[in-house]
Amino acid sequence: MAGAVVFDKVVIFGVGLIGGSFALALRTAGVVGHIVGMGRSKEALGRALELGIVDSVGDSIAAALNGASLVLIAAPVAQTEAILASMLPHLEAGTIVTDAGSTKADVAAAARRALGARISQFVPGHPIAGGESNGPDAAVANLYQGKKTVLTPLPENSAIDIARVAGAWTACGAVVRQLEPGEHDKVFAAVSHLPHLLAYALVDDIANKRHAGLLFQYAASGFRDFTRIAASSPEMWRDISLANRDALLGELDAYLAQLIGMRAMLAAGDGAALETVYANAQRARRQWTGAIEAAEASQAPDVTQ
C-alpha cells in the first residue's frame, strides 16, 4: 500500500478475533514490521504464534513495549484500566496506544485514571466488526474490510497520533469515522447494546417457559436471525451493559414506552395504528439497507485478501 503509514513494531493485547484480525490485516497490507502478542491466556498466545498472527509473544510488558510504535488493547473492556496501568512504567514517548472496546466514555475515564499525564498517547477506538466465533482461530485478514471503525479522540490527542491510528485501521480496510466518546456510547446503546439486551431477554423468556421445548421446536429462520446476537458472550455483554448503563437505560425506557403504546393499539384492536408503526419500520429499514447496498456496490474492489 504505497504511501501508507508504517508501524515498525505493533503490540497486541488480546490475540483473539479482534486483535488477531487486526494483526493479520496489518500484515497483509504490508504496513507492519514486527508484531508482539500479549495477553492472559498462554494457550491463545501460543496458538496465535503457531498461526502466524504474531511474530513473537512478549516475555514481559517492558520488553514488549520497548520500541513499540503502536499498541492495540483488544481485551474485555473491564481489563483496560489494569492493562494501561501495567504499561505506564514502560510506555515510551513515541508509542501510541489505542483500543477496540465497545464502549468509549468509560474507557476514556479508565485511561485517564491509569495514564494520568500520559493520556495524550491513548486514542480510543471501536471497530464495528465481530462474529459469533472467537479466539485466534477465528481471526481473518479481511474482518474489517469495508466495516466502520469509530475513533473517539480525546482533547489531549495530537492530530498526528489520531491520523496514525486512523491510518492503521484504513490499512485494515476499515472506513474510519470520529465521534465524541459520549456520542458514540449513545449511538451504540440504540443500535447495538439495546438489541443485544432485547434478544437475550426474548430467548431467556422463552427458555424459562414450561413448554419451552415445544416452542423451540417451531422457532424458524425469523427467530434465528432475531436472536443471533444472543449467541454473543454473556460476560462481554454484561460488561458493556454496565459500562454504558446510563445510555442503555435511556434507550430501554424509550423502547418500553414504544412497546406499551403498541400494546394499547393491539388491545384496542387498532389495526390502522399498528400498521402505521409496522409500515414506518419497514420503510425505514428498507431505506437503510438500500443505502448499505448502494455503498457496498460503489466500494473499491477488495485488494487486501
Q: Which residues contact 161 (CB under 8 A, 6 or more apart)?
A: 96, 120, 121, 123
Quick one: 16 or 127, whose CB is closer to a copy of itself? 127
Rg (CA), the chain: 21
Closest approach of Cβ 5 to a copy of itself, in Å? 25
Give the side-chain half-sphere CA count within 13 A for 146: 14
180 phi, psi to nearest 5 deg:
-70, 145
Which CB sits closer to a copy of itself, 89 or 296?
A: 296
CB of 280 to a copy of itself, least distance (A): 5
Q: Which is nearer to a copy of itself, 81 or 161 (CB)?
A: 81
Residue 137 Cβ vs a copy of itself, minimum distance, rounded to whole Å: 18
Rounded Cα distance between 279 and 228, Å, is 24
Contact 203, 230 (CB under 8 A): yes
Closer to a copy of itself by Cβ: residue 59 or 275: 275
Nearer to a copy of itself, 191 or 303 (CB): 191
> 13 vs 237, which CB is nearer to a copy of itself?
237
Minimum CB–partner distance for residue 52 and a copy of itself (Å): 27
CA angle (192, 143, 186) in 5-degree steps: 20
Q: What is the nearest approach in angstroms of a copy of itself to the Cβ of residue 34?
A: 32
Would you say 113 or 286 has its CB closer to a copy of itself? 286
Nearer to a copy of itself, 63 or 257 (CB): 257
- What are the distances in angstroms from CA 222 to CA 192, 195, 227, 287? 19, 15, 9, 20
The least distance separating a copy of itself from the CB of residue 238, rounded to whole angstroms, comes to: 4
- Residue 196 C-beta: closest distance to a copy of itself, Å: 7
CB of 39 to a copy of itself, least distance (A): 22
